């Protein structure tokens, strides 16, 4: 029994932090200047002061030393191994000679940007059992800077101010109800001296909001809810009263959803903060709102007055969302000529597959076209701004499964886009992956696991070679260069699989992107020709930045495979090839000569499960529970991704008592695997073990056949 637990710990859900609190590794350079609005707005080409570089979130670096003529000399300047093997999604900041970045588990690190020496490391000591509240890994997308402080949101819901020079915490506030299933993975933004942060949890029963905190004291200044409360329980502003008319039933029991977990942008001239709002809770509108209503402000772009948090306008991309079609994807601002007139525009390519251009002064829709194949709608009605829906897409009304394209992971997920203002081109990291939406009869919410109202277990991948091959063939990815004025594709780089990294465009007419295959590439802005590639040894999902120091241009990116695609899709997790997590910060410059250590071997473990002896009823019952409560982390059909244990290989399959100690008693809660005793009996937990044993034997048989997958 002890041996089995030790084996599970060795391949546990999370790697425990190597240290706690603040560690000093080298003397930090003096903080030479505070970060304020003027500095961010007029950002020097050498700097990267905010997660999107500037408030418009264009992720464009004007630097030109690394260009199409010099790219062949680009090499690794230095790298830093990280003390976590979860997904790395952070965008570093470069301020006054220092790179600041967040890592998985909401840790923050500062490096000398010349040499890569670690200056300090801060660990907020997020309780590892928080992972059960997170839909998509223990990731963190970045920090914000203001004055002499950095700000990070933690997975367990705190907003922490850190002294930029010492790495010591200055203040910490809890931004959410920690008894509920909220998390924070997004990067804060700071405007008008207010630190703005949202949260996630719409798959688990949360009510969304975004809030602003005083950068000096941490005191809450305003809060903006995206979903109305239970009628009669709050004195609500007019915008929420209007929203309530679009909701039905008792939506508040599951919070309604609408979490603001990532995208924000800011226009300092208009003093408008733009936020992207997430999906409903649950997805299935039958259980959320009696199957009717637009359900404002789900899946919407909302503008609020940044000083007060007062509502300004909104545009809803997916009324009555029932497909997890969030509008939390990257929002970018630009001034462009459209129809012979100069327009202040907002651009977004959300999950639903359409590229939207809005007038950011008033939210008016200017244009919308699909950038990937879409089957849930045939287009956008420009008179109403609403999608022209395919009736079959409303699976809960038809009672029939709907294979939606795009699927729940989105035509474009959180991975940042980039915009080249010279060529007026948007670069989109696109996913081409469908999802089977199967209505679940008699669904009821629970306090653990996904609460989405669709039958995830019924959609599990069968141990059928032909079905698997078809699914693999249909699942791909692409880098799409998009003309936002003409609303058409300029060029495309096709990838083997989805979930490729965020983007950086530069004044050197280059586009940088990491891939799920473990390459870090540079492409020509004009036509997408690959001009350079570096083998990163791990999948890259984060977006790069560029900075200049001592007259030399650098490109930096966080490497480390992770996120929901590395967890939930089962065999599709490895569509781009066997991916692994080697978490590092990689920094490049011209004539860089630093070598990476040899890539460690990737050994495929043979399947050697105990015999399947349970009844068909027990296996079916276990499969239903696994699909809803376990597959999000441990993979569709119990086929694990590369950053969590593949339970088909677990030693605990051989021992009922060990399995119970882990799943029932929570023996590995400090590694993220909490107890499920509050919702499962011992018999129900044993049925899950029976299902995993059955699946392991199915796959063992399948793998023994020639050319099987």
Tell me, rounded to whole angstroms, the distance of Cα 563 from its chain centroid. Answer: 6
Beta pairing partners, 578: none
Is 652 within 8 Å of 634 (Cβ atoms)?
no
Read off φ and ψ for residue 341, nearest 5 degrees. Answer: -125, 145
Tokens of 586: 């990689």
Greatest CA span in the chain, whole angstroms?
73
Contact 559, 586 (CB under 8 A): yes
* Coil, helix or strand at residue 321: coil
Q: In the numeric block, which tokens belong to residue 650? A: 């677990």
Contacts of 25 (CB under 8 A, 6+ apart): 117, 118, 119, 120, 121
CA separation (Å) from 611 to 615, 631, 640, 709?
Answer: 12, 22, 20, 21
Residues 410, 416, 421, 422: what is their CA dihedral angle, to the nearest 10 degrees?
Answer: -90
Distance CA 399, CA 454 (A): 11
Q: Cα torsion at 373, 290, 279, 398 (round to 10°)?
A: -20
> How many whole angstroms separate alpha carbon 627 and alpha carbon 619?
12
Contact 111, 118 (CB under 8 A): yes
CB atoms within 10 A of CB 238: 9
What is the Cα–Cα distance from 190 to 196, expressed in whole angstroms?
Answer: 6
Say whether 406 sits in a helix, a strand or coil: coil
Q: Is 574 in the active site?
A: no
Find out whether 393 and 402 touch, Cβ atoms under 8 Å: yes
- Closest by Cα among 525, 524, 523 to 483: 525
* Residue whose structure tokens are 């699976």: 395
Closest to 645 (Cα-Cα) out of 3, 57, 85, 63: 85
Output b/e per residue, 26-63; b: 16+ Cβ within 10 A.
eebeebeeebeeebbeebebbbbbbbbbbbbbbbbbbb
Considering 112, 324, 509, 687, which one is annotated as catalytic? Answer: 324
**How far apart (Å, rounded) are the C-alpha atoms in residues 559 and 596?**
13
Q: Which helix (H) or strand (E) holds 454?
A: none
Which residues partner with 586 through β-bridges?
79, 557
d(CA 243, CA 546): 42
Residues designated as active site: 324
């Amino acid at each position: 029994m002890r041996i089995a637990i030790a084996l599970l710990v060795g391949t546990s859900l999370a790697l425990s932090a190597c240290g706690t609190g603040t560690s000093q590794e080298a003397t930090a350079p003096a903080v030479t200047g505070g970060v304020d609005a003027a500095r961010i707005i007029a950002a020097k080409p050498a700097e990267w002061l905010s997660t999107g570089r500037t408030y418009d979130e264009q992720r464009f670096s004007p630097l030109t030393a690394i260009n199409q003529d010099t790219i062949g000399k680009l090499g690794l300047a230095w790298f830093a191994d990280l003390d976590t093997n979860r997904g790395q999604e952070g965008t570093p900041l470069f301020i006054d000679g220092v790179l600041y970045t967040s890592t998985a588990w909401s840790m923050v690190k500062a490096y000398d940007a010349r040499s890569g020496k670690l200056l300090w490391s801060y660990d907020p000591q997020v309780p590892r059992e928080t992972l059960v509240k997170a839909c998509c890994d223990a990731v963190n997308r970045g920090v914000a800077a203001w004055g002499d402080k950095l700000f990070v949101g933690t997975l367990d819901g705190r907003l922490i101010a850190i002294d930029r020079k010492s790495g010591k915490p200055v203040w910490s506030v809890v931004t959410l109800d920690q008894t509920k299933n909220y998390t924070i993975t997004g990067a804060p933004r700071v405007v008008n001296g207010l630190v703005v942060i949202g949260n996630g949890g719409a798959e688990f029963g949360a009510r969304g909001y975004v809030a602003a905190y005083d950068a000096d004291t941490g005191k809450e200044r305003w809060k903006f809810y995206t979903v109305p409360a239970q009628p009669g329980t709050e004195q609500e502003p007019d915008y929420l009263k209007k929203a309530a008319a679009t909701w039905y039933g008792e939506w508040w029991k599951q919070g309604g959803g609408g979490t603001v977990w990532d995208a924000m942008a800011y226009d300092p001239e208009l003093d408008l903060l733009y936020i992207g709002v997430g999906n409903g809770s649950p997805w299935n509108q039958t259980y959320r709102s009696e199957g009717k209503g637009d359900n404002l402000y789900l899946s919407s772009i909302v503008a609020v007055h940044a000083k007060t948090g007062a509502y300004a306008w909104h545009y809803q991309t997916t009324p009555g969302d029932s497909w997890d079609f969030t509008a939390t994807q990257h929002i970018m601002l630009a001034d462009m000529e459209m129809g012979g007139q100069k327009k202040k525009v907002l651009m977004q390519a959300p999950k639903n597959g359409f590229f939207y251009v809005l007038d950011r002064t008033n939210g008016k829709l200017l244009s919308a076209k699909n950038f990937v194949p879409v089957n849930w709608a045939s287009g956008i009605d420009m008179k109403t701004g609403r999608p022209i829906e395919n009736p079959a897409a409303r699976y809960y009304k038809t009672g029939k499964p709907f294979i939606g394209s795009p699927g729940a992971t989105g035509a474009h997920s959180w991975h940042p886009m980039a915009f080249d203002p010279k060529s007026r081109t948007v670069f989109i990291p696109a996913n081409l992956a469908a999802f089977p939406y199967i209505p679940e009869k008699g669904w009821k919410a629970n306090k653990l696991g996904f609460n989405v109202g669709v039958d995830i277990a019924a959609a599990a991948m069968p141990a059928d070679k032909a079905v698997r091959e078809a699914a693999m063939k249909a699942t791909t990815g692409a880098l799409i260069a998009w003309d936002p004025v003409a609303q058409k594709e300029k060029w495309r780089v096709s990838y083997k699989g989805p979930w490729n990294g965020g983007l950086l465009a530069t004044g050197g007419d280059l586009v940088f992107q990491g891939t799920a295959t473990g390459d870090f590439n540079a492409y020509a802005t004009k036509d997408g020709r690959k001009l350079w590639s570096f083998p990163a040894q791990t999948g890259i999902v984060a977006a790069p930045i560029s900075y200049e120091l001592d007259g030399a241009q650098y490109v930096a990116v966080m490497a480390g495979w992770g996120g929901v695609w590395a967890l939930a899709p089962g065999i599709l997790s490895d569509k781009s090839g066997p991916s692994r997590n080697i978490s590092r910060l990689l920094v490049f410059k011209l004539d860089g000569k630093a070598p990476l250590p040899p890539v460690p071997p990737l050994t495929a473990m043979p399947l050697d499960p105990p015999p399947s002896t349970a009844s068909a009823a027990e296996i079916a019952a276990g499969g239903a529970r696994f699909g809803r409560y376990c597959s999000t982390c441990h993979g569709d059909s119990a086929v694990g991704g590369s950053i969590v244990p593949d339970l088909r290989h677990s030693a605990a399959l051989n021992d009922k008592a060990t399995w119970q100690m882990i799943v029932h008693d929570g023996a590995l809660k400090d590694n993220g695997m909490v107890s499920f005793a509050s919702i499962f009996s011992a018999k129900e937990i044993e049925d899950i073990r029976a299902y995993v044993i059955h699946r392991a034997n199915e796959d063992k048989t399948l793998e023994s056949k020639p050319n099987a997958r």
